[in-house]
Structure 1
Amino acid sequence: MKTIYQKIVITQTHVISRPKVEKSPGTTCKRKVSGISPRFAGRNDMAGQLQKVFYLLLCLLWLVWPGHAALAQSPTDVEAAFAAQSTARVIVVLHPVEAGAAQADQVARSQESVAQALSSADFSVIQTYQTLPGLVGEVTPAGLEALRRQPEVAAIALDLPVEIADVTPNASLIGADAVWRDFGLNGAGVRVAVLDTGVDTAHVDLAPSLAGQHCFNRNGGCLPDGSVESDSAQDQNGHGTHVAGIIAGRGQTSPQGIAPTAEIVAVRVLGPNGSGFTSDVLAGLDWVVANQSNLNVKVINLSLGGGSYVGVCDGADANTTLYAAAVAAARQAGITVFAAAGNSGQADALMAPACVSGVVAVGNVYDSPLASLGWPTCTDQNIVADQVACSSNSSPELDLLAPGVLVRSTGLGGGEATKSGTSMSTPHAAAAAALLLQANPNLTVAEIETILEETGRPVTDSRNGRVTPRLDALAAVTRVVIGQVTPLSGTVLLQGRTDHSGTGIYLSDTPCASSVTGEPAAVTDATGHFEITPSSEQAFLCLQAVQPAYLIGQKDAPEGELGSLTLPGGDVVQDAVINILDLAFMAIHYRSDNPAADVNADGIVDIFDLTIAASNYNLRGPVANWEGGSP
């Protein structure tokens, strides 16, 4: 059973500067209008009209009253909308076209065919797309019936309203601070598209990161002149500014973002009040994909959504059908899409587009202990780090958890603001993807998803027992970096021994010196083998192999497989030369178990040890005659 609520919300719930109350599921207006008493239905007398007005007022109150959801999507919802007005704003899904170079032309022809089949009075087109098989328009009852008869039309639904879903980057919990420190990665060169309320283009922590901007708002909310589309994504709400700062805030007047030198492409799809329509979000997605050759976006962040969907929602209605098509197009263009799960506290349902199969859906956890925290739908008590927020939506389709409570980030007008919700969790994950892509720009969308999920820390949601990985940026980046670095390996044999273990392998980023300092990077096993996976792409200038009673082995600028090196035995006084001093030391301890003089480590200093030393008389270290290594 799938329940769908029409209102799309940004997934922000706690805002220190201005609290925002999120909608929650409820009875639909459709039921209210269609449930008018039969004896009044169809009547035009005063009693019938008063009852209709009464129910319509209830519908309007239901849509705006905190804690309630909007119209559910069903085949009769569009007709129900006509009870309140003469036209309805609908999304029309067209039958899929073949992928390929001519896809855009096929989409355009299908859109034109449908538009020309109806009069503009019955269907006024207000939005078409370049890559998505669909269009949006205002339709009359007669136009609705005509649309349904068109062979190109696959589905029709009310254009689902959307709102923001509402961080301070909780870098420590997810290990981002360690990524900066240990790997020197900060998102440089990676572009993230933030589809939201826009960004504060003058904010000192965001302006240097802004690589592009655009606006879609069919209610005429685009700056500077109230148009339906423009090249300005200036924020008038603050939500998008906050989200962008979590990703790429420079950290001058607000906390540093998770990927502080990543670039932001700001796409405003929501109005000053944080609301908009699915069609505007789809227009933003369509614009990014259609302009990918210039934008080169690698990640999309959607801290917004609407409805409530149980299970995968790809074909649930016209809204999610086009969401699925848009996400598929983004993935094909090499873009990973992250979306907020929602904050209505549902244990088995997600908002759209988080419920779409190709999206990485992100839920919310606490990053530190709290006594309690109240949400619009619930209250958490005795809170610990990594506890799932009771307000965070969940379902088997939830992919990741990330911090999203009382998060500080960039604020509208400069400085910072504090917000909470899955809107804040989502950009943590999107920014982590930017770090991965800086580490390896060739990662595919599927690889990014797999790495983030497989390296996350398992967290159990007490509401349903479901285990979901909590984002661990350090573990994810470590996997990527290790996968690219060629291990440094080789074999060090000890003359006169059958057990070749215990030789310390020392690495240095400076040229080899006569002395060895620090801790070994590895120790050989019984066969003499060692393997070292560097923690970064650092180029080492020296490798030294150290074993007491043996000359030191050495390799300048070691790389890859070094081959095999045999250390000559007998340097028991460790002065880098085997001579009379070593023989004298061994003679003094002859027939003892002194380990310093027992070259072959058989438990006694005897003729065998003296023979090894004598065979290497006057030999000096270090030795570097490696054999059989990679070229």
Structure 2
Amino acid sequence: MRRAAGTGALSLTAVLLIQLAAAGPAHADEWRDKEYWLADYGITEAWKKSQGEGVKVAVIDTGVDPSHPDLAGAIAGGTDVSGAGDPSGGRGLGVNPEHGTLVATLLAGRGHAGKEGDDEDGKDYKGPGKGPDGIIGVAPKAELLTVSAWIGEANPGGVPIDQQLPNAVRWAVDNGAKVINMSLGSSSTAWPESWDDAFLYAEQNDVVIVAAAGNRGVGMIQVGAPATIPGVLTVAGLDREGKASWDSSSEGISIGVAAPAENLVGGLPEGASRYAEWSGTSAAAPLVSGVAALIRSAYPELTAAQVINRIITTAKDGGVPGRDTIYGYGIIDANAALNADVPAVAGNPLGTIEEWIRIHRRGEAPAAPAGPEPVSEALPDIPEPRVPTAAEPYTEEDPLPAVLVLGFAGLILLVSAGGSIAVLRIRRSAEASAGAVPEDLAGGEEQKMEPSRSA
């Protein structure tokens, strides 16, 4: 795991813990059986109304392998913004090249019908996707746009991350994405000013942006950018029992909803073993992006703000009553998000970056609310109240994300004693700085990592 060091560095991490699949002949349908979230979180019911038809979802990540059997026919286009990757975004980059393919299969995997020449396997299959084997994503009929970025150590392509990320967002919008998945998080709540216009561009073009909240397991105690940007739907992580995950989540006021982040599975690029078990909000985010795609397909007339509103208002409350900093508005419920009667809203309940830029970058005071109509009789001469001057925007050096790190706490074959000690230190440090630990997170167990593929 690598994190940006030094003041002002913004370390974006796609938070997950991963166990690689054991090398050897594993049948893909064994992996389909592990997708507990499809039934437990209302996704199979939601499929009766929509499977994401006609919706493009951009995956801004390390690159997606188009040759994976579960992604056949799913990729509608791609690009590379790093200067170091394949022009189509189809080659994994950086220290964790598997990450983008894992995210893509979980979001829009289509499964497959067994090995080539196996006519019996899947012959009578009538479910979603292309067959009973492999990973079926939340939106198996959505189309993917893949954008590869260099995430991790110094980019050999020479393009800094403060340029890569906004370029990726703009390309996704210009190429028809209605949802953008960003399975990356940061140790900083701030973001470079160079990102403002791109996120504003997405907002003005009615695009839903979903971002991972981050993982305590890699030292991300609080939510960081881009998940702190107003209007972005931030996803926290749950354990297998549906409670807030200790390692595979973080805390912050910008969290919108929580989704499964432990004991998940996804596809790997190339190699003998094409699947892995993994954990983290990097995995939770594409589940929510998939639900957004289902809604945009079923209700194409809804704005991005109304899509987000359906997701957060139909979420099941978790933790303390009402919105909180661990579950946000609650736990994702795909069936309710697709089928509940939800009143329309005029604006994004998570805020807008346009307003944030106006106040914090330009230093303009918030608009005063409209007052009552003036009365007809004469009023006493009251001096006009002084309007406080808006504080100067943050003037410290822009926290340029020198390193975009995919927050794997894994991609490892062996967990050492030193790793366990580090996690314990992180946990104790968090408890010491934050005070009492919420009941949902007290006594959280260490994430168990098992070897699953030879190096």
Q: What's the TM-score, normalizing by structure 2? A: 0.59
The question of 1:12 aligning with 2:34 is answered no
* Conserved 8 A contact 2:61-2:149: yes
Residue number in structure 2 paired with 1:357: 230
Residue of structure 1 in register with 2:70 after alignment:
205
Q: Distance in 2 between matches of 1:274 and 1:174?
A: 39
1:397 aligns with 2:263: no
Residues 270 and 278 of structure 1, relative CA distance in 2, 3 Å threshold = same
Tell me the equivalent position of 1:84: none
Residue 231 of structure 2 aligns to a residue whose secondary structure is coil
Distance 1:456 1:211, change over 3 A: same
Residue correspondence of structure 1 range 576-615 to structure 2 within 5 A: none
Paired-residue identity, %: 29
1:425 to 284, 289, 293: 284
Q: Residue 262 of structure 1 aligns with which residue?
A: 142
Give yes or no for contact 1:7–1:306 (8 Å, CA) kept in 2: yes
- Of 283, 287, 302, the residue aligned with 2:171 is 287
Q: Quick one: structure 1 residues 459 and 235, their matched pair in 2 at CA, closer, same or farther if it must change by over 3 Å?
A: same
Opposite residue 333 of structure 2, the aligned amino acid is D
Letter in 2 for 1:332: Q
Inter-partner Cα distance in structure 2 for 1:245 and 1:15: 16
**Is the strand fraction higher in 1 or 2?**
1
Residue 213 of structure 1 and its aligned partner are, at CA, apart by 0.6
Q: CA RMSD in A?
A: 2.9
Q: Aligned AA for 2:72?
A: A
**Pairing of 1:559-574 with structure 2 (within 5 A):** none
Give the distance between the partners of 1:234 and 1:444, measured in 2 at CA: 33
The question of whether the paired residues in 2 share the 8 Å contact of 1:456 and 1:470 is answered with yes
Q: How far off is 1:168 after superposition?
A: 5.3
Conserved 8 A contact 1:8-1:305: yes
Q: Paired residue for 1:249?
A: 109
Contact 1:324 1:357 in 2 (8 A): no
SS of structure 2 residue aligned to 1:297: coil
Query: Are the aligned partners of 2:107 and 2:139 in contact in 1 as well (CA < 8 Å)?
Result: yes
Distance 1:420 1:189, change over 3 A: same
TM-score normalised by length of structure 1: 0.43
Structure 2 counterpart SS, 1:327: helix
CA gap of 1:198–1:336, structure 2 versus 1, over 3 A, is same
The aligned amino acid for 1:351 is G
Q: How do 1:161-172 residues align onto structure 2 when only pairs under 5 Å count?
A: 170-172=37-39
- How big is the shift at 1:305? 2.8
Retained in 2: the 8 A contact 1:286–1:326?
yes
Are the counterparts in 2 of residues 198 and 268 from structure 1 also a CA contact under 8 Å? yes
1:277 and 2:161 equivalent? yes
Distance in structure 1 (CA, Å) of the matches to 2:107 and 2:20: 20
Q: Deviations over 1:480-511 (max 9, x none)?
A: 6999xxxxxxxxxxxxxxxxxxxxxxxxxxxx
- For residue 349 of structure 1, report the CA deviation from its aligned partner: 2.5
Change in 2 beyond 3 A, CA 1:480/1:324: farther
Displacement after TM superposition at 1:362 (Å): 0.6
User: What is the match of residue 222 of structure 1?
Assistant: 85
Q: How many angstroms apart in 1 are the aligned matches of 2:225 and 2:106?
A: 22
1:178 maps to which residue? 45
SS in 1 for 2:224: strand
- 1:328 deviation in Å? 1.8
* Aligned-partner Cα distance in 1 for 2:308–2:343: 17
- Go from structure 1 to structure 2 and tell me whether the alpha carbon gap of 1:403 and 1:214 turns closer, same or farther (over 3 Å shift): same
Q: Distance in 2 between matches of 1:282 and 1:17?
A: 34
CA distance in 2, matches of 1:278, 1:305: 14
- Structure whose alpha-carbon radius of gyration is higher: 1
1:342 positional shift: 0.7
State the shift of 1:216 in Å. Answer: 1.2
Residue 233, structure 1, aligned to residue 96, structure 2: no
What are the within-5 Å matches in structure 2 for residues 508-587 of structure 1?
A: none
CA distance in 2 between partners of 1:322 and 1:434 (Å): 28
Q: For each residue in 1:302-361, what CA deviation from the matched residue of structure 2 results, as whole angstroms up to 9, or x when unmatched?
A: 00132332xxxxxx45x1x33343222102112100011111367973121001112111
- Give how far 1:235 is off: 2.5
SS at match of 2:178: strand
Instruction: Work out the CA distance in 2 between the residues paired with 1:474 and 1:248.
Output: 17
Contact 1:168 1:409 in 2 (8 A): no
**Structure 2 stretches of 5 or more lacking a match?**
1-6, 23-33, 113-132, 345-455
Q: What is aligned with 2:338?
A: 477
Q: 1:307, 1:325 → 2: CA distance?
A: 22
